[in-house]
Amino acid sequence: MEQNQFKRKTAFWNSIIILLSAIGLIACIIVLFPQTRHKILDIASQILNKESSTYQAWIDTLLSYAMGGICFILFFDYCTLTKSGKALVNNIKQEIKDCLSGIEFKLFTKPVLLMFGVYLLGILTIIRSNVLYMDDIGRATGGWRAWITWSRYIPDFLSIFIHGDANLTEISPLPQLLAILILSLSSVLLVYVLFKKITVIPLLASIPLGLSPYFLECLSYKFDAPYMAISIIACIIPFLFVEYKRAFIFTSIVSLLIMCMNYQAASGIYIMIAVILCFQDWNSKKKPIREILVFLGISFFAFCLSMIMYKLFFVRSYTVDTSTTAMFSLSKLIPGVLSNIKNYILLINSDFGLIWKIIIVIIFIFFIIKSIYKSSHRKLISFIVSSLVLFITLIASYGAYYLLESPQFFPRGLYGFGVFLAIICVFISDYKKSSIVASLALCWCFLVFAFSYGNALADQDRYANFRLELLLHDLSILYPERNIEDMSFQMKNSIGYTPVVKNIAKHNPIIKRLVTLRVEEDDLYSHGYFLGYFNWGMLDSSRDFSYGKNYVDYNKCDLPVVLDSYYHTIKSDGDRVLIILKN
């Protein structure tokens, strides 16, 4: 009797799945036709009363979504309606359950609290500075999310729950506290994955993971910080399942897609950990070479499949400033990648001060020495392989960005290098006292720099506000009753850096790439700060700053000088205003 009821229940749910799948497939197939996508564009334009060109990028993306929807429906039906699919799902579930049951998560509590305290200490000055960092200005004043524009779907969704509303409001330091909580767990998991145990010294050695100068920019964002942190932990989680092939492949693909939908700059972290784990097994001869190569191949397969899926089904094409989603063609792939590698290494070299570079070189030397000392192979072979592994992981730290024609080289796009340093520091933290001192010395340098950086943010913000107050005062005197919507503004030059920032830059040049000037020409964030945050006018870059196709350089218009002061010169004909900042 019970068996018959079970069969009827199963048949009922199978029918529901088949019906919904059929509807979904029909909808996706219809969207594949260009005429349908254009019709959707026209309907959306009529409903929202906007030009169709505004939604063109979204409509072009519908093709990828439709193809992805078809693949997902077919795979879902395979897993739920076929015996082999159900068996695969059950095997993966069982492997994940077996793996998780073998981990004592209670032992993670104190290490996570320890690292939370360390990371909280590191960002105290950033929190105290209370600076709206770049995109934060628009999100705080306009409440917009718009992560989905950059194919970052998860932040667009999660932010609704974190902020309690689809319209974002400024709730710092909550997002930054969430970010360091995620980073704390990431540090603990990284140490556990590499050593299968958790001790204090390796934990502290992992500080570059969250407090490298590059990730400090991520922690400066009051709205984006937790999602950037999620991208790191997503790359570490799959390696909890390395002993279970199916579970590892499944969690790798899912986690890497999650990473891409948060922040793609973390894409190299997965590769680095896979290479280091294979090297550890090879160096100690814990596993045969064939098994190591199989694991490396599986990791490479999961990574490539995830990147292909993300590119085909989720990426929304865009070109902004110097960044673009366009990839090299096959004929330009090798020289293009080599050029990006060169630019990446040169940029890191120019960002870091001499003391940092000396410590990093010492850490690299200890990595090779430990590898040789612990190796079960001949010393020469171990030296060659360990040097090669060091080079490969260094290059891999930039991840999939190498494939882009114009990848972003902003500090926030390079935090994979910080994770690379964390991996190497953790690796040598159980060797000799001298290697421990070297790894902790680098961590101490980054911690101290974090304090300097937060204070520099506050100092530059103070100076920028001072300059803007003077400027807005002069503008309000010149145009006390003028309708701001009938005027357009351009800025020339910048206010320059404060003496505090210049002093830090003497030995740590990266500070000038981290601290934004806040008031400078041709910078949308500066204009947004000037117009939106100080309530001077509407935040409309196409009108207020004459950007776009109809751009006219007011500096060539011979506008009359209406005010000249120590800090700025204002030229205007009543409708057009040129503000020339003096540094």
- Cβ–Cβ < 8 Å for 460, 453: no
> How many Å is the maximal CA-CA distance in the chain?
94
Taking alpha carbons only, the member of 200, 205, 114, 189 closest to residue 436 is 205
**What's the predicted TM-score (pTM) here?**
0.90
Residue type for position 345: I
> What's the rounded Cα separation, in Å, for the pair 366 and 266?
26
* pLDDT value of position 183: 96
- Cβ–Cβ < 8 Å for 423, 439: no
Give the single-character DSSP code of 212: S
Write the DSSP string, 171-189: -TTHHHHHHHHHHHHHHHH
- Neighbouring C-beta atoms of residue 360, cutoff 10 Å: 20
Give me the residue spans of the domains in the chain. Answer: 2-81, 105-431, 454-581
* pLDDT value of position 539: 40
- Cβ–Cβ < 8 Å for 236, 258: no
Q: Is 161 helix (H, G, I), strand (E, B) or coil?
A: helix
Q: Are strands 488-492 and 576-581 parallel, antiparallel or unpaired?
A: parallel
178-192 as b/e, with b when 16 or more CB fall inside 10 Å?
bbbbbbbbbbbbbbb
Ranges of the chain whose pLDDT falls below 70: 1-4, 6, 31, 34-35, 37-38, 40-61, 317-324, 482-485, 522-524, 537-551
- Cβ–Cβ < 8 Å for 460, 518: yes
- Cβ–Cβ < 8 Å for 511, 456: yes
Write the DSSP string, 427-468: HHTTS-HHHHHHHHHHHHHHHHHHHHHHHHHHHHHHHHHHHH
* pLDDT value of position 548: 46
Residue type for position 148: I
pLDDT in tens, 541-567: 434 444 444 567 788 888 899 999 999
> What's the rounded Cα separation, in Å, for the pair 541 and 555?
18
* pLDDT value of position 540: 42
pLDDT in tens, 19-28: 888 887 887 7
CA angle 224, 230, 231 (to 5 degrees): 95
Alpha helices in 330-432 (DSSP H): 333-351, 354-374, 379-396, 416-428
> What's the rounded Cα separation, in Å, for the pair 421 and 565?
48
- Neighbouring C-beta atoms of residue 78, cutoff 10 Å: 14
Question: Which H helix or E strand runs over 492?
Answer: strand 488-492
Burial of 150 (0-12, 13-18, 19+ CB in 10 A): middle
CA atoms within 13 A on the CB side of 89: 12
> What's the rounded Cα separation, in Å, for the pair 290 and 44?
56
> What's the rounded Cα separation, in Å, for the pair 399 and 256?
12
* pLDDT value of position 405: 84
